[in-house]
Chain A
Amino acid sequence: MQAGWIVDLSRRALGGVAVLVVVLGALRWALPAGQEEAPRRRPHFTDVAPKSSFSYITNNHFTGRKYFPQPMCGGVAILDHDNDGKMDIYFTNGARLPELKKDDPSFYHCLLRNRGDGTFADVTEAAGLTGAHLDYSYGVAAGDFDNDGFTDLFIANTGKNTLYRNNGDGTFSDVTDGSGLDRKPPDTLSVQGAWFDYDNDGLLDLALSNYTLWRPDLDKRCASRGVEVYCHPKTYVAVPHRLYRNLGGGRFEDVTESSGFARPLGKGMGIAVADFNEDGWMDVFIANDTEPNFLYLNQGNGTFREVGLLYGVAYNDTGATVSAMGCDAKDYDNDGWVDIFYNNLMRQIWALFRNQRGKMFHYVSPGSKILALSGSYSGWSAGFIDYDNDGWKDLYSANGDVDNLEAFSPQHDTMFENVGGKYFVDVSREMGPDFLRVGYQRGSAIADLNDDGFLDLVVTSLNEKPRILMNSADNGNHWLMFKLTGTRSNRDAIGAKIKLTTPSGRTLSNHVTVSVGFMSSSDRRVHFGLGPETKAASVEIRWPSGVVQRLTDVPADRIVELVEPHQ
């Protein structure tokens, strides 16, 4: 029997050191305390979107002519927009080309409120989030930039980018003008923003990946064997990415030049933020399309040093650049160091870089079997997801080719299961028919939409309805999730690191970030799969402010809410 969506709240003060709020999550099977059971089968995914009524379709306005932006459409954000404890979903959308106008509801964005019963309500209009006044939109980043406890939204557009402030009453206001985020060099096409606190002042700053200079009248047309194709990225120039410092009061300062973000030039796609060298400062990895990838190491003084080539992540092992798309940074081998993954187009080999204790990265795609598994797929959004809660982060990718010319162009998504942190196996075929739907997938987000401790997926596909893929959560493995709220640190606690040790001695690590994949923003709660173990022996939280908090003997299968202690 499915236990349903049961939530129980209780507050306890523990020794004046921490305020701990424990939320009991829903359980598919209620196991007697202490009993451990080996996983019986792999979970699979079921699309529950058809159960909800909403009209959103990812609309890139493809009518025959191939405009440059069209392959990129359909960002996804996970956020609890109304603080009812349930994760909602927001989608971005394209616009009419070449006019760049959302002059029809088919181009509107979409906010789906999670009803808590497996269905979602379209509250876009009520929330003021149709985006009707915007042009062609791409990535969306959810983050509480003003620390008022309500999650806001940043949207990357072809023209002016957009900052929506959450009013706290279920509605949003466009506060872009005058914020500083309205400023970027003319004709710069932005793809994705990533919230993170680079100077540890408790306010979320924004890194922005930009792709190129483009306007409809600058659009080039390309052909191959007499058939129009989307032009290769080399047709367009590379541009600087941007960094905006949050000054508070809804204002941002463009610190691109002074911070070192201005050089080199790139064609930005996904952004991953993490502290790669464990020095207490958040760094930024940007996947660039057909340009070297960038690793900006935070120097702790307001500047960054770009070390992609030096640290071994700029190119693959033959020195080639690839069409790097979505990326994520997590510790996939549980050695305590955050690794990097990005996908790209078929025959280019997806890249897995293992962090060598913060000194550099090794390209491990061959040895981890990612090379062998990925050659047939063109991946867009992607992310590490411990979908089966065994404590090893697996890899999900939303796939589909750039163009629509070949039989293999529409593709299904992939799930590569992590085997002991050493290599991956393709378990896509066992993920269920909804998971295997072929199409041109683009944005994706990872979230626990029903708070059952098993991670779900939301995926957009060009010119189709998105899928809301619920994890069957039926293999008996245990889990823990942490929802952190900063006080001295930024309220979203982005950058907070969690190290969990199980009774058997396994050490798992993760950190708070929403910037996962491509054009998308995932659930900011930190998830751990525990396998057969029913508790965490110890949990250590390192807040961005420097405060360290420790818990012991945390029972599994619950969402733990923590507020940053004062010291």
Chain B
Amino acid sequence: MGEYERAERAFQQALSRAPGDFEILFQLGRAAARAGNYDRARRALETALRMRPSHVEVLVELGKICIAQEDYSRAVFYLAQARQRAPEDAEIVLLLARAAEDGGYYDDAASAYDEYLRLRPGDDAARRDRARACGHTHSRREEARKELEWYLRKHPDDPLGHYAYAQVFWDEEPERSLQHLTEAVRLDPNSVPIRYARAWMLQRAGEMAESLPDLEAARRLDPENARVVDLMGMAYLALDQLDRAEKLFREAVTLAPDEPEFVLHLGRALMALERQEEAQVWLEKYRKMRPPGGPVLRKRLGMIGVAALDVRRQRERPIEQLRREARDHPDHPDLQLNLASLLLADGQTEQALAEFQQLLALNAGARIWEDAGRVLLSAGHHQLARQMFERAVEERPLARLHLATALFYVEGPEAALECLRQIPTEAANGDVMLLEAAILEAAGRRAEAVKRLDEGLLRSATQLSVIERALPLLVRLERHAEALALLDQAIRTNPQEPGPALAKAVILGLMGRFAEAHKIVRPVQARWPELDRAYLVHGLLLERNKQFRRALGMLQTARLLGSRDPNLDCAEARLKGAPLESAECACRTGLEQLLVPVCAVPPE
């Protein structure tokens, strides 16, 4: 165990003794981040941020974690807030500039670099980097050229300067860019990105054989770099050395199986080798995994500006911006979807539904309709969700699952069941069967429900999603022992997930086996002291066991840790004897509802 892992363990133990302690939570987050446990670090630090929304160090740490996770838009958001609170901290501004640039927000990045250079005017490297960012903007490209030329006159031996020039002007000035890359290689022959870039430029110029030495050097330096391997394959394919090309493409696909381009290249090499059947398999795979494509919109200026606004304007400004962009770009239906979703999340329901309607008039495509359907379904707008899913199902057959759910609420169980029957048998996985079981059970067809449930569990009982879907049904059917057995299996196969253990504690609580339930919850709290849900579960267990004062304390810790679960509000209200204001609280009566994500009543 490394130093940071030890620190993480220590803070974890401290937090379990003092849950909700901001300082410990912060240190836990930092230690987890240093140890590379980013998800955990983010969870701890987001909890800390809810406690102290203006804490600069928390914001900076979250920014760094988001950068490490390549979640640049979020990184910019956090770092911009940090900058707002510490405007003279040059390091924060530099971090912000880099995150914006890495995320493709070049206008924002250029502005951030401007600010950094105001604080540190002598940082030539930052000036170089600013020029690179400016080179990708619409309005500051000429400035980029002048700045880079100035930089290269002053620092002719900096390979990054030459590389930056090529990165910006490769399209407009291919020959000059190639010269700069050649110089960059001379200055830093061990830079994989520079070697790759030069090879790529040479291939664009039709110099396939000439690209190989750079690629071979890059491969020696970084043998697991799939892009390098793939580009080598392209060279050999163009040189008609098909066997070598095939071998390289296979290697690239092995290194990066989720990269569609490599799959395409392998398919093409196999066709060139006249192995059509094999090629067809890979090309069919490519067709399924190929990203949708479409016009690329320049990422808008203003990311940093938004983070600097007050809370109300932070909500309003993205909506205004999205509204404008969606109107200007009907060819970007994802903007329309984002606008509608944001309005819904903001509580502007009528407007949101109008915008979702507008989405139906656009050439949105199956993926967007399915995504829209899911948003509407989870918000309880079943009729509109149904329209979305009906459009999506032709290209995305598994959207039928969601369509069935929507139909259940709109037309009742028979319509939902009829919809599910249209899923091809080979695609009917555990999720499908368990949904069918749930619908049958709601329709009062208990025996059929049980049969379907058993079939579903038999088919794919190891998937967490399937188990989650099965649990409420098993509870309603009073098959608690089976539910426990499933969860034990899930705990064994997913030791890093707290969810199955907490679900087991809930089931034990429903069975009245409170001592056993507590024995499960406590280690979860010790292991994940930053996890608000563990305290929520514990609190509801205690409530069911009529230990009301302890229950309330546990629930307050959950709240301190930032829980937004609706069960928490309802439980606190019950324990305090306060009136139940939310209609949802009529449904959320205690422990059982922890297993039910949406509290909705189907039609009679």
User: Judging by beta carbons under 8 Å apart, are A371 and B328 in contact?
Assistant: no
Q: Which of A175-183, A308-316, A462-470 contacts B (4 or more CB under 8 A)?
A: A308-316
Inter-chain contacts of A221 with B (CB < 8 A): 330
B423 touches A (CB below 8 Å): no
A198-236 residues at the B interface, CB under 8 angstroms? 220-225, 231-236
The interface centre, meaning the residue of B268, B294, B362 with most chain A CB atoms within 10 A of its CB, is B268
The digit string for A316-335, where 1 denotes a CB below 8 A from any CB of B, is 01111100000000000000
Give min CB distance, B36 to chain A, whole Å: 32
- Contact yes or no, B261 A319, CB < 8 A: yes
**Cβ of A263 < 8 Å from any Cβ of B?**
no
**Contact at A319–B205, with CB atoms within 8 Å?**
no
Q: A320-B293, A356-B272 are in contact. Are A232 and B331 (CB under 8 A)?
A: yes
Point out the residues of chain B lying under 8 angstroms from A233, CB to CB: 331
Instruction: Say yes or no: is A360 at the interface (Cβ < 8 Å to chain B).
Output: yes
Q: Does A423 contact B (CB under 8 A)?
A: yes
Q: Mark B359-376, 1 if CB is under 8 A from A, else 0.
A: 000110000000000000
Q: In the complex the two chains form, what is the Cα distance from A501 to B489 in whole Å?
A: 76
Which residue of A is nearest B363, CB measured?
Answer: A237
Q: Closest approach, in angstroms, between the C-beta of A125 and any C-beta of chain B?
A: 41
CB pair A368–B206 under 8 Å, yes or no, is yes
In chain B, residues 272-309, which have Cβ atoms closer than 8 Å to a Cβ of chain A?
A: 272, 274, 276, 279-280, 283, 286-287, 290, 293-295
A372 at interface by CB-CB < 8 Å: yes
How would residues 249 to 281 of chain B score, 1 for a CB under 8 Å from any chain A CB and 0 otherwise?
000000000001100110110011010100110
Q: Are B171 and A319 in contact (CB under 8 A)?
A: no
On whether the beta carbons of A231 and B330 are closer than 8 Å, the reply is yes
A310-B276, A347-B171, A360-B272 are known contacts. Are A366 and B203 too (CB-CB below 8 A)? yes
Note all chain B residues with C-beta closer than 8 A to A318: 261
CB of B177, distance to nearest CB on chain A (Å): 12
Tell me if A367 counts as interface (CB < 8 A to partner B): yes
Determine if B283 and A310 form an interchain contact, defined as CB atoms under 8 angstroms apart.
yes
* Cβ-neighbour of B328 out of A223, A236, A364, A375 (below 8 A): A223
Shortest distance in angstroms between B205's beta carbon and chain A's nearest beta carbon?
6
- Chain A minimum-CB-distance residue to B280: A310
A319 near B264 with CB under 8 A, answer yes
**Which positions 84-134 of chain B face chain A at CB distance < 8 Å?**
none
Known: A366-B204, A367-B238. A309 touches B286 (CB 8 A): yes
Q: How far is the CB of A1 from chain B (nearest CB, A)?
A: 43
> Distance in Å from the Cβ of A353 to the closest Cβ of chain B?
11
Residue B484 at the A interface, CB < 8 A?
A: no
| CB-CB contacts below 8 Å: B312-337 with A | 327-332
Whether, in the assembled complex, B466 has its beta carbon less than 8 Å from a beta carbon of chain A, the answer is: no
Q: What secondary structure prevails in chain A residues at the interface with B?
A: loop
What is the bound-complex CA distance between A234 and B295, given in angstroms?
Answer: 8
Which residues of A sit under 8 angstroms from B208, Cβ to Cβ? 366-367
Residues in B neighbouring A234, C-beta threshold 8 A = 294-295, 331-332, 363
Q: Are A371 and B204 in contact (CB under 8 A)?
A: yes
Q: Is A51 located at the chain interface by the 8 A CB criterion?
A: no
Contact A366 B279 (CB under 8 A): no
A374 to chain B: closest CB distance in Å?
Answer: 12
Are B271 and A359 neighbours in the complex by a CB distance under 8 Å? yes
Report which residue of A220, A234, A359 has the largest number of chain B beta carbons within 10 angstroms of its beta carbon: A234
A359 to B276, CA, bound (A): 9
Q: CA separation between A121 and B237, bound complex, in Å?
A: 53
The interface residues of chain A lying within 8 Å CB-to-CB of B328 are 222-224
Query: How distant is the Cα of A504 from the Cα of B389 in the complex, in angstroms?
Result: 66
Establish whether residues B279 and A372, one from each chain, have CB atoms under 8 Å apart when the complex forms. no
In the bound complex, residues from chain A placing their C-beta under 8 Å from that of B232 are none
Decide: A235 and B271 in contact? CB cutoff 8 A.
no
The answer to whether the Cβ of A362 comes within 8 Å of any Cβ in the partner chain is yes
> Is B174 close to A, CB under 8 A?
yes
Which 6 pairs from chain A and chain B are nearest by CB? A232-B331, A223-B328, A235-B331, A360-B271, A367-B206, A234-B331
Known: A311-B271, A371-B205. 7 other contacts (CB 8 A): A224-B329, A232-B294, A232-B295, A317-B234, A319-B264, A359-B276, A375-B171
Binding site for B on A (CB under 8 A): 220-225, 231-237, 290, 309-312, 315, 317-321, 347, 356, 359-360, 362, 364, 366-369, 371-372, 375, 423
Q: Which residues of B contact A (CB under 8 A)?
A: 138, 171, 174, 203-206, 208, 234, 237-238, 260-261, 264-265, 267-268, 271-272, 274, 276, 279-280, 283, 286-287, 290, 293-295, 327-332, 362-363
